[in-house]
């Protein structure tokens, strides 16, 4: 059978979205390996998948919490070695361009993959995709977010615009795209030596035409490779397909290792409201504390509900007057929690929304960044929940949103309709079929 390599960004969501597909491929006889940065190792190994670290010199474990300047020796004009401080990103690109670090190439040479799947959730992937192109690897993107649509009638996913037949919706969408085009032009004119400049230089070195690089979307910069989107198309706004993009199943691994939890702290007799805002901190601690305090203030007014509030590791527990129906924790096993939840208050990450739909849980979405605004817009568009404003949160507004979702059965009905589409896509195993097709194409190319 085939050797398949998943190239992973250091993201919990990226790993979770790929696990079921990886396990399905392995059970079909394919040999699976994960390759990525050190921050991904613990999670991958906890789910009993083989993992190979790369670029640990540049991106050590928890590199996001470390100094972003690396001291490197360089040759001065008089040929004596001096020390200089450069950004981690610049140091990494310099090593790649000078071929001083060939870890990725060496890893691929040892694994000899028949197919490489780049989990496209990080700007690092353009570097690895270009290096893969230079090696002649058979590759595809595995998207754990919806990304950019080629159809201009669909708003950019980083906005909260909900398309409709109105002229206002059309105009808002066109303005959003033009603003993005202007930003790209501004960046090219005034930041020639920034990230895009380094990517452009690498593309030239890898003999990949810069004109073929798609410079839009989230994350930006993609090659002309097949794209497997880990989400049924029914969740997206209606639009025409981009050639080479394939919507497959949500790929939710119901057996993933999520750790343990003390369920004795929960009153199982009360309906459960589950609140979690993901693993990335987008704003200051004070902003999060204000939000969590609003949740607590609403919970105090609703003692008929059990509240689970997940605050992560980076937020101190400086919260006031916590009522007995609120349990505050750093982490929960999300799939197990959603099995019991009546409503979820979420940041709108793709993985969390997919899991809410899978278990039929309506949502109150407070988007924080990236594609979360577009995801929240899709939740509202399909009638599966409502959205709030994280930066202008207030207990009264939050209570109104929660009671609107809880009191109107149409939200739960709409989630159930989408849930049926998700379950049907999971049963169809579209991802397995598509990957086998990609492998077959590669075999035919080699044969002829």
- Closest to 233 (Cα-Cα) out of 432, 17, 426, 421: 421
Alpha-carbon gap, residue 187 to 413, rounded angstroms:
45
Q: Do residues 204 and 346 share a domain?
A: no
Is 48 a member of any domain?
Answer: yes
Q: Do residues 398 and 296 share a domain?
A: yes
From the number of C-beta atoms within 10 Å of its C-beta (0-12, 13-18, 19+), residue 158 rates as middle
Is 77 a member of any domain?
Answer: no
- CATH code where residue 311 lies: 3.40.50.2000
Q: Do residues 437 and 374 share a domain?
A: no
Is 45 a member of any domain?
Answer: yes
Q: Do residues 107 and 213 share a domain?
A: yes
Alpha-carbon gap, residue 256 to 46, rounded angstroms:
9
Q: Do residues 143 and 158 share a domain?
A: yes
Q: Do residues 216 and 183 share a domain?
A: yes
Alpha-carbon gap, residue 157 to 155, rounded angstroms:
6
**Per-position pLDDT tens, the chain of length 448:** 899 999 987 777 778 888 899 999 999 999 999 999 998 898 889 888 999 999 998 888 887 665 555 444 444 334 444 344 457 788 888 899 999 999 999 999 999 999 999 987 677 889 999 999 999 999 999 987 786 655 667 888 888 999 888 888 888 888 888 888 787 777 666 655 578 888 999 999 999 999 998 877 667 788 999 999 999 999 998 877 777 889 998 988 888 888 888 888 888 899 999 999 987 778 888 899 999 999 999 999 999 999 999 988 766 667 888 899 999 988 899 999 999 999 999 999 999 999 999 999 999 999 998 889 999 999 999 999 999 999 999 999 999 999 999 999 999 999 999 999 999 999 998 899 999 888 887 665 554 3
Q: Do residues 382 and 324 share a domain?
A: yes
Helix (H) or strand (E) run with residue 122 in it: none
Alpha-carbon gap, residue 291 to 285, rounded angstroms:
10
292 touches 309 (CB < 8 A): yes
Q: Do residues 168 and 272 share a domain?
A: no
**What is the tally of helices (H) and strands (E) in the chain?**
14, 15
Q: What's the total number of domains in the chain?
A: 2
Is 175 a member of any domain?
Answer: yes
- Name every residue whose Cβ is closer than 8 Å to that of residue 24 and which is 6 or more positions away in sequence: 429, 431, 432
Is 301 a member of any domain?
Answer: yes
Q: Do residues 202 and 347 share a domain?
A: no
Is 93 a member of any domain?
Answer: no
Print the domain residue range for 163: 3-61+101-249+429-447
Q: Do residues 116 and 175 share a domain?
A: yes
pTM of the predicted structure, to 2 decimals: 0.85
Is 90 a member of any domain?
Answer: no
- Closest to 351 (Cα-Cα) out of 258, 267, 416: 258
- Name every residue whose Cβ is closer than 8 Å to that of residue 445 and which is 6 or more positions away in sequence: none
Is 69 a member of any domain?
Answer: no
DSSP 234: G
């Amino acid at each position: 059978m085939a050797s398949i390599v998943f190239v992973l960004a250091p993201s919990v969501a990226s790993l979770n979205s790929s696990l079921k597909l990886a396990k399905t491929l392995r059970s079909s006889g394919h040999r699976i390996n994960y390759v990525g940065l050190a921050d991904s190792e613990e999670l991958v190994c906890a789910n009993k998948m083989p993992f190979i670290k790369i670029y640990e010199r540049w991106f050590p474990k928890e590199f996001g919490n470390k100094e972003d300047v690396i001291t490197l020796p360089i040759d001065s004009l008089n040929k004596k070695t001096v020390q200089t401080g450069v950004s981690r990103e610049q140091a990494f690109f310099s090593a790649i361009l000078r071929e001083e670090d060939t870890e990725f190439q060496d890893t691929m040479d040892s694994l000899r993959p028949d197919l490489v799947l780049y989990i496209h959730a990080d700007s690092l992937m353009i570097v690895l995709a270009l290096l893969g192109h230079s090696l002649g690897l058979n590759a595809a993107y595995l998207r754990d977010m919806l990304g950019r649509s080629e159809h201009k009638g669909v708003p950019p996913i980083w906005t909260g615009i909900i398309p409709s037949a109105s002229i206002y919706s059309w105009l808002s969408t066109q303005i959003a795209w033009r603003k993005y085009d202007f930003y790209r032009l501004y960046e090219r004119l005034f930041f020639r030596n920034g990230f895009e400049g380094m990517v452009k230089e690498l593309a030239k070195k890898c003999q990949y035409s810069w004109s073929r690089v798609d410079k839009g979307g989230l994350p930006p910069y993609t090659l002309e490779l097949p794209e497997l989107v880990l989400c049924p198309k029914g969740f997206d706004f209606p639009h025409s397909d981009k050639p080479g993009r394939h919507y497959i199943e949500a790929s939710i691994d119901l057996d993933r290792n999520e750790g343990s939890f003390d369920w004795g702290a929960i009153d199982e007799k009360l309906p459960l409201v589950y609140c979690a805002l993901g693993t990335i901190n987008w704003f200051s601690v004070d902003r999060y504390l204000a939000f969590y305090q609003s949740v607590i203030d609403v919970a105090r007014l609703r003692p008929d509900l059990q509240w689970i509030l997940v605050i992560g590791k980076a937020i101190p527990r400086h919260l006031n007057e916590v009522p007995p129906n609120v349990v505050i924790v750093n982490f929960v096993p999300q799939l197990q929690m959603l099995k019991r939840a009546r409503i979820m208050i979420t940041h709108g990450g793709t993985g969390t929304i997919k899991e809410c739909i899978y278990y039929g849980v309506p949502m109150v979405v407070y988007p924080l960044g990236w594609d979360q605004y577009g995801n929240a817009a899709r939740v509202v568009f399909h009638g599966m929940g409502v959205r709030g404003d994280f930066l202008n949160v207030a207990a009264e507004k939050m209570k109104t949103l929660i009671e609107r979702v809880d009191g109107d059965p149409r939200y739960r009905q709409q989630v159930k309709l989408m849930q049926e589409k998700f379950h049907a896509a999971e049963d169809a195993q579209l991802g397995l079929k598509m990957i086998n097709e990609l492998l077959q194409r590669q075999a035919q190319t080699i044969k002829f």
